[in-house]
Amino acid sequence: MNRRKFLLQSSAVAAGLGALGARRGDGASQPAKAAAGARRGNPIAVSTYSFWRYNANSKLKIEDCIALAGDLGFDAVEILEKQMDRKDGAYLRSLKRQALVSGLALCGLSTHQGFVSPDAQERKANVAITVASIELAYALGIPTVRVNTGRWGTTEDFDELMKNRGMEPPLPGYSDEDAFPWVIQSLEKCLPAAEKCGVVLGLENHWGLARTPEGLLRIVNAVRSPWLGVTLDTGNFLEDPYGRLDKIAPRATYVHAKTYYGGGVWYTLDLDYGRIAAILRRHRYRGYISLEYEGQEDAATAIPKSLTLLRNAFRTAA
């Protein structure tokens, strides 16, 4: 992806949205009035995933994503660990400096691990992977790491998993009831590193045992640690999203906000962000709203539209 072309396209879209907002009173150019000193609302971040989306033709370096996020007007950047080509100390320090001079926070690290396995050694290896991610976040000054339960892996093709609405059968001879203790115990083993580094883990309502609010809360409530919260993802409850988001919002320590301009890569949800913002305000959530753009429209036009959408929805502080 050519950064200059991206910025030219993005600037044109942002200018058009600003003019539209000035006419209709619903754009970023018309911020909500607030008393002196009042917060303007939730800070809006962007995940580096939004610029990539696992598209082989659009993988940007993390430093390019940070530069674009600053140019587009975001408040912070979340890093997708799988997108990182380097993790040496000099490189990490350069990213911290770049974020500082760009006026951005590095607010989140999104990782992948799987604890849903009857193999104790495999679970141990994934605990080690997670601890390494916690230490990476600490080196970058990032306060939270997205974690997953993992899944059974009986559906090898991710496209097929999405066709099945994220559901898959357990391994022969096992059930989800076997897997919950594996996940709980594995997360507990990650907590000493999280506390030592001052990094909060956020279990996401992702595929696997956290696909439902009941499954996610069963794990979080069993662990009962201030170093494990919830990364609330607006796009991962495919049925009755608002009622389900309301159930997990009290435990939210971080939020992923999905948009699907041009239609989703795997599915499309018509999310009402005014309604979602009201849910989060009711539960006094004041933290980051991190964009995970997952549509088919060019990111250069879709990401500025997404930023305007989220600014409008979350501009009133909780």
User: Residue 22 sits in a domain of what CATH number?
Assistant: 3.20.20.150
**pTM (predicted TM-score):** 0.88
- Give the DSSP letter of residue 295: B
- Total of domains in the chain: 1
Give the domain extent around 83: 3-26+42-313
| Res 41: pLDDT | 93
Q: Is residue 176 domain-resident?
A: yes
Tell me if 137 sits within 8 A of 78, measured CB to CB. Answer: no
Tell me the one-letter amino acid at 318. Answer: A
- Give the C-alpha separation, 227 to 141, whole Å: 16
Tell which residue, 226, 224, 229, 233, has the closest CA to residue 201.
229
Q: Is residue 318 domain-resident?
A: no
Residues paired with residue 291 on neighbouring β-strands, in sequence order: 46, 257
- Of the pLDDT bands very low, low, confident and very high (cuts 50, 70, 90), residue 155 is confident
Q: Write out pLDDT tens, residues 26-68.
A: 333 344 455 556 677 999 999 999 998 877 677 889 999 999 9
Helix, strand, coil percentages (3-state) for the chain, rounded to 5, are 45, 15, 40
Q: Is residue 58 domain-resident?
A: yes
- Give the C-alpha separation, 175 to 162, whole Å: 21
Give mean pLDDT, residues 276-294.
Answer: 97
pLDDT at 249 over 50: yes
Q: Which two tokens stand for residue 6?
A: 């991206």
